[in-house]
Chains A and B, each alone.
Chain A
Amino acid sequence: MLQVDDLKKSYGNLVAVNGVSLRAGAGETIGLLGPNGAGKTTTVALIAGLVRPDSGSVEIEGRRLQGDSDSIKRRIGLVPQDLALFDELTAEANLQLFAALYDLDGAAAKRAIGETLELVGLADRAHDRVKDYSGGMKRRLNLAAALLHDPQILLLDEPTVGVDPQSRNAIFDNLEILKGSGKTLLYTTHYMEEAERLCDRIIIMDHGKVVANDTLQGLYRMLPVTNLLSVELDNGQDGLRLDELQTLPGIHSARLEAGTLRVGVQDMATGTPRLLQWLVERGHLYHHVASERANLETVFLTLTGRSLRDS
C-alpha cells in the first residue's frame, strides 16, 4: 500500500509539486498523466526518497519513509526515465551491481538475475555488453534492474520513451504480469494511450497539481461530450450559422476548422441525425462524416484548457 499526502516541493520560485495526494493498493496500477513539466517526475522522486519534500508525507505499507538508508526503501523499485545502466558492462554485471545495492549476492543474486532476465526476455543476452543492445532491449533491462529485489511497489517514470512498438508491447506484457502478481504500479507517462491501456486509475497533473484523479470511465464522465463529429462541407462555411446550431438539443459545441465542421455531442444516437438533418434543411451539403470518441486528450483539454501534446 502506497499513501502519499499533500506533497509539496519547490525549487526557488518554481513550485514543482503542489499538494499531491494519492493512494495505491496491491495489484493496482495508477497512471500519472501530464505534459512535460507537470511535476510527474518530481512526484516519483519524492516517493522514491530521492528528493526531500518541503511538506507532506510518503507512507509505504503504513510506514513513513525517512532517511536515505531507511529499509522500507527495499519495498520500492524505481525505473528511471533515463537508461540508468552501465553501457560498458554486460547485462549480468549491471544486474549483479543493482542486486548488491539491496544486499543480494551469491546464489540469491544469481537466482534473482536469472528470473528477471527471463521475465524481460533477455536471458540469452545476459553476457552481452549493454552498449550492444537495441534501445528496446535497454529499456527492458532498465525495468529488470528495478525488479531484482522483488519490490512490492514499482515506480515507473516514462519507461517506454523512445522504444519501438514491439518493445513497448513487450514492456506492457511484463507490467501486466507484475500487476497480476499483486504489485502496485505507479506509472508516469505523457502518452494517453498507455495510461488508457494499463491504468486502473489515472491522475492528471498540471503545473504541479492534481487536476483529476479517477478511473478512466470516471474521467470520461467529467466531459460534457463523449463524441466528436467531423463533417466535411461541400461549400465551406458559406451561410453556416454556428450560433443557431449550438442551440439544438444534444449539441454541446460547434466550430469550423478549415472547411470542416466539428461538433461535440453527448449522445451519438440522437445527436448525429439531428445535426445531419439540420444541415440538409439549410442547404449545407457534405461529402464526409466521421466520429471520434473523446479521450484523455479531450479530458486534459477540458480540465486545463490546453492540449496535452502541445503543453
Chain B
Amino acid sequence: MPWNKEGGGGNQGPGGQGPWGQGPRGPLGGNRGPNPPDLEELIRRFQETLKNFLPSGGKAGWLLPLVLLGAFWLYNAIYTVQADELGVVLRLGKYDRTTNPGLHYILWPAETVETPKALSENIMTFGISGDSRDPNAEGLMLAGDQNIVDIEFTVLWRISDPRAYLFNVQNPEELLRVVAESAMREYVGRSRAEEVRTRGREAAQVAVQKLIQDTLVAYRAGISITGVQLNKAEPPEPVMDAFAEVNRAQQDSASQVNKATQYAFQRQGQANGEAAKIRQDADGYKGRIVAEAQGEAQRFSAVYDQYKNAKAVTRRRLYIETIESILGGSKKVIIEQGAGGPGVIPYLPLPELSPSASKGAPQ
C-alpha cells in the first residue's frame, strides 16, 4: 500500500489492514482511523465480554463493558499529529479538514484521519547502483550528441498539498521517481554530453527541476520540488580511461610548454650574458687601445722634445742602441768581403735577411 510505505497515511492498526483493505486496487473497504477496528473482531470480543460478565449478574457486571467500550472509543478518537506531519480528516470518506501538529480528536468511527509527512523535506536519489531495478542502466543516459553520460542526481521534494497528494495520485512517490528520471533523460537527450558534464550543470539542475515541477503540477500530485542536485555527471565506466588520457595529454602538453618556457628563459639569460661579455670585451679593447695610443704618443712626445735639442746625437744613439739590442741576443756570422779574401759563397739571398743591410745601412 503505497501511501503507507511513504509515511503518508502510516497508521496501520492492529488489524494490519491498509486503507483499502486488500491493497490499492482492492474492494472499497472504507478508510479507517488510527486503529481500524475490525467489526467482526469487535463483535466477537463483545460477545466474550457478555459471556464473561452476564452470568455473574448484578449492576456492576454491566458497568465494566461500558467503561471498556468508552476507553476503546477514546483510544480510536484521539490522535497525534507529529511535528513533521499534517492530519487530513475524512468524515464518512469525504475530506473535512486538515489539522496541524499536536493532539486532536476525531468523531470515530464516522471520521478517519491520515497523517502524511507534509512538513518535512524528502530526498530521492537516482543513478546509484542498487537503488533501482536496473542498476547498470539507471545512471547511464544518452545525450543529444549520441554520447553517454553517467548521471547521479538527487531530488528534494515535499508535500505541498496533502489532500492532492493523498487523493489525486495512486502512488505519488513512485510517480515522482518516473517523472524525475524521465525529465532528466529528456534534458540530457537534448543537450551535448560535454555540456552536461562541465559548464551546463547549473543549467541542467534548474531546467530539470522546472520540468519535473511542471509535470507534477499538470498531474495535480500535490508535490513541490525544492531542489535538484546533479551529484555526478561523468563519462561512463568503459570510456573513463580514454577521458583520463585526455587529462594526461593536457598535463603532458602543459609540462612540455613549461619546459620550453624554461629553456627560453635559460637561453635568454645565456644570450644576455654572452652579449654583455662581448660588449665589455669591445669596450675593454677600446679603452686599452686608446690608453696605449696615448701612452705611446706621450712617450714619442717626450723623446721628440729631447731630440729637438740634439738631433744628430740622439738619432745616432737611438740607431746604435736599437742595433745593439737586436744583435745582442742573436747568432752572428760576420764575413769579410774583400777582393781576394777567403770567400764564402753566399747561397742565400742575404741582403733580404739582414736588417742592417736592407734598412739600417743603405748603400
* A and B assemble together: no
B residues at A contact (CB < 8 Å): none
A residues at B contact (CB < 8 Å): none
